[in-house]
Amino acid sequence: MQKYLRETKPPHDYGGVVLLWAAERMPDLLPKERRQKLIKMLWSHQHDDGGWSIRTFSTPEKWGRGNRAKKLRAEPEFKNPPSDGHMTGLAVLVLREAGVPAKDTRLQKAVQWLLANQRASGRWWTRSLNTDKFHYITYSGTAYPLLALMKCGEITSKLAPQPKND
């Protein structure tokens, strides 16, 4: 498994984010230089509002089969997709695990985006890549922001370990 992850190029930048996350849990998986490239790639996707959009991490054709690419290209915001909870939460979570301090101004901007974009229901809505009928990605789009905010010391839970001081 490690050999596969080490030697197989991720199919898209989203795969690179997940690879970086795995590498932070398995220190021998990737050399420091490769991790730094993945961190740089992740930062390159950050929007001016502080968030990230899952839609910028791959071309529509690489997200799957069927009519998905056509659907994604037909979205009104295709060329400039809005930030979403799933990707913003995941990006912050992975960057924190990669050692980026919570006080980093770019992360603070992302935290502000998360705090400003939580819905009254408590969730962070994320538009599905697959359908406009069901947006199951909203579940991870809410879990990742919660974990990210905890990693940045913005919220605490007696059930979770406290974030490390930077």
Q: What pLDDT is attached to residue 68?
A: 78
Q: What is the CATH number of the domain that holds 28?
A: 1.50.10.20
Domain residues for the domain of 121 are 2-151
In a domain, 129, yes or no: yes
Coil, strand or helix at 81: coil
In a domain, 162, yes or no: no
Domain count, the chain: 1
In a domain, 161, yes or no: no
Categorize the per-residue pLDDT at 49 as very low, low, confident or very high, splitting at 50, 70 and 90: very high
Task: Select the more confidently predicted residue: 66 or 111.
Answer: 111
In a domain, 80, yes or no: yes
Burial (0-12, 13-18, 19+ Cβ within 10 Å), 120: exposed
pTM given for the model: 0.89
Q: Which residues contact 104 (CB under 8 A, 6 or more apart)?
A: 95
Query: pLDDT of 86-129, one tens digit each?
Result: 999 999 999 999 999 999 999 999 999 999 999 888 888 777 77
In a domain, 140, yes or no: yes
In a domain, 22, yes or no: yes
In a domain, 35, yes or no: yes
Task: Determine the Cα–Cα distance for residues 156 and 161; give it in Å rounded to an integer.
Answer: 8
In a domain, 159, yes or no: no
Average pLDDT, the chain: 89
Task: Select the more confidently predicted residue: 128 or 141.
Answer: 141
